Amino acid sequence: MTTPQSIAHLFLEACTTYDKKDAVLVKEDGSYRPYSHRFFRQRVQQFARGLIGLGLAPGDKVGLMAETRFEWAVADLGIICAGGVDVPVYPTQTAEQAAFILANAEVTGLVVSNQAQLDKILETRDQLPPLRFIICMDAPEQEAADVRTMADVEAMGNRLDNEYEMEARTAALGPDTLLTIIYTSGTTGNPKGVMLSHGNLVANCKSCESYMPYGKDDIHLSHLPLSHVLERMSGYYSMLMRGVTIAYAEDIRKVAENIREVRPTVLVSVPRVYEKMYAGVMQAGRQSGFFKRKLFQMAMGVGKQAVPFFNTGKTMGGLLGYKWNMADKLVYSKVKEATGGRLKYMVSGGAPLPR
């Protein structure tokens, strides 16, 4: 893919280039259901047209407070294609913390995931005078003024005769156009908004491209917060650019279960997740019976000897090759099964990964 001039162009080019039937996987009624690039693009553009119908002007700020899910991506790209600037807020923030960020960014619109997030905003609505509309991904349990569902906004966008307006706004986006304002954790006082352009995120994706051996035949399990730039860049925009299927975990507490269901080939995560996986494997090995514990120790020793061969791509033959095949069959295959059996690439970011 050539260097896109914006994240919106990156997305639209990916939809045209890959045109997969399983661009996205979403857990519904107990199993993962695929959604195509065409469906993805249709939802994004209808939502963008709905936002324009609600009065969103180019450069307007729209808050996005939701857990990691398919609708987060639809809302994000819809805001962008409508010419807006999104302001992600962690769904774990308190009402007062969220109100500070949204007020500081001067958002005119807000997208939330559910009633729990909506309640936070309604509690502090008087602190957000510029806020004109709120959109809820899930149908809210209680009616409130100026609150619409995401489905209603998409349906409105489908009815409106403003497709050319949306296309013109998308076309006008360039590398220097403001894309997003991401707020810091606030550990040294109130959070501060970091202003990032389309060029910033596109450059990040492109600079990492040569290190990404995965592509359109791969599947990634998205589970980190999309409000953090690591998942947004590495597990979302970069995956779109490479044509990787993005499966959404139901919840961070169900990642282990979802890994076995999705059987991803790529995983982007933080050191803490890998540390817990590693600790689980090591504990299982140490707490096994005498024979299995000795087998585990043997496999670990063989694995360390085999690493140089894997790193250089050399063929492992002779006695070491025989030992590796045995260790893989008796021990490592069990570890692979726990991660779905197809995992090829594990990307770590956000903090140093312990040796």
The pLDDT tens digits of the residues spanning 252-292 come to 889 989 999 999 999 999 999 999 989 999 998 888 888 99
Whole-number Å distance between alpha carbons of 24 and 19: 11
- For residue 293, pLDDT over 80 is answered with yes
Q: Percent of the chain scored above 70 by pLDDT?
A: 99
Q: In terms of C-beta density within 10 A (0-12 exposed, 13-18 middle, 19 or more buried), how is residue 181 classed? A: buried
- What does pLDDT average to over the chain? 94
Q: Among candidates 134, 125, 114, 113, which has minimal Cα distance to 71? A: 113
> Distance of alpha carbon 237 from its chain centroid, rounded?
8
CATH 3.30.300.30: does it fit domain 7-252? no
This prediction's pTM: 0.93
* Res. 126 pLDDT band, cuts 50 70 90: very high
Lowest-confidence region among 12-21, 37-46, 305-314: 305-314
Residue 59 near residue 178 (C-beta atoms within 8 A):
yes
> Distance of alpha carbon 300 from its chain centroid, rounded?
33
Q: Read off the pLDDT of residues 179-213 as tens digits, 9 standing for 90 and up.
A: 999 998 766 788 999 999 999 999 999 998 888 88
pLDDT value at residue 338:
87
Domain boundaries, the chain: 7-252, 271-348
Mean pLDDT, rounded, for 152-181: 97
